[in-house]
Amino acid sequence: MRVLSGIQPSGALHIGNYFGALKQFIELQHSYDGLYFIANYHALTSLHDPAALRAATLEVAVSFLALGLDPEKATIFVQSDVPEVPELTWMLSCVTPVGLLERCHAYKDKVAQGLPAEHGLFAYPVLMAADILIYDSNLVPVGQDQKQHVEVTRDIALRFNNRYGEVFTIPEALILPEVAVVPGLDGRKMSKSYGNTIEIFDEPEVLRKKVMSVKTDSTPVEAPKNPETCNAFALFRLVAPPEELAEVRRLYLEGGAAYGEVKKRTAELMADYFAEAREKRKELLAHPEQVREVLAAGAARARSLARVTLDRAREACGIW
């Protein structure tokens, strides 16, 4: 079974990216044929600084490797290194109804956030469909809120197959285990667009300062508190050992939990959790040629898979 997913290079990865997706990618590589790509074509809808895009692309590749994606087990590559993808995107565009794209919530949300209503943003789901279909992907790991992306891909593939024959494998969404929303420093969902993130590779002193600033209420130490609504506890539970988590939960419910102590302990645990990855990242950044070799090898394999599918699609619709 083949699993595929991608991450946009839109800046330094934060712990919401890790616990919401990357952690699961790393686990899935042991059970599936995994393809993981850096979606730099997709990033063009919001990132318009060429130097920043190049740097962010390398940063995501380094992060993948530092956090545990193994190029011996998974195929890691950059989206733009597979030129077959944009060609397939056009072919898929020719069977995609405008109404289908108009119903996509991601487009509406991003326009509402201030991004210009450009064709690339509107047609984003077609490029995403090409990413998925060109590798004969069986499963696409997504959160429940991203399931629509896979449903759109399935709709496009079925329309193409109905018109031209059985060309594409129809993918399924692999719904990732529910991860509680990782709160940012201000209590909203952690997001680069909100500027409220804790980066995965923050040094311990920076990480501690950020965690200590996480928004909490003014409930006294001795008063009971609801752990399910506390931003500090939401971060603590991501990295705490089970026994310690149970004890702190008890203090919340019965009284005796001090926000400052919970934050302090969270910062310690989080620094330890990512310590090995921080050191690995430094090694990789010192030898970027090794990272580029991994990406080149991944792109070669991805292209070999993509070529087969694209040739099948070209023949089906009469392109020679």
Q: DSSP assignment, residue 207?
A: H
Give dist(CA 182, CA 85) in Å, integer.
Answer: 33
Of 23, 192, 263, 280, catalytic: 192
* Residues 6+ positions from 72 with CB-CB distance below 8 Å: none
Q: Which two tokens stand for residue 208?
A: 């501690």
Specify whether the CB–CB gap between 227 and 262 falls below 8 A. no
Of 23, 108, 189, 209, catalytic: 189
282 has catalytic annotation? no
**DSSP symbols for 200-261:** TT--HHHHHHHHHT-------TTS---GGG-HHHHHHHHH--HHHHHHHHHHHHHS---HHH
147 has catalytic annotation? no
Specify whether the CB–CB gap between 188 and 194 falls below 8 A. yes
**DSSP symbols for 268-286:** HHHHHHTHHHHHHHHHHHH
Length of the chain: 320
Q: DSSP assignment, residue 177?
A: P
Q: Which candidate, 91, 126, 129, 134, places its Cα nearest to that of 2?
A: 134
Other CB atoms within 10 Å distance of the CB of residue 305: 19
Give dist(CA 111, CA 116) in Å, integer.
Answer: 6
Give dist(CA 206, CA 210) in Å, integer.
Answer: 6
Cβ-based burial of 220 (10 A; exposed 0-12, middle 13-18, buried ≥19): exposed
Q: Which candidate, 210, 195, 190, places its Cα nearest to that of 18?
A: 190
**Side by side, which strands form the sheet with 172-175?**
74-78, 33-38, 2-7, 139-142, 172-175
Of 110, 210, 225, 263, catalytic: 110
192 has catalytic annotation? yes
Q: Active-site residues: which are they? A: 110, 189, 192
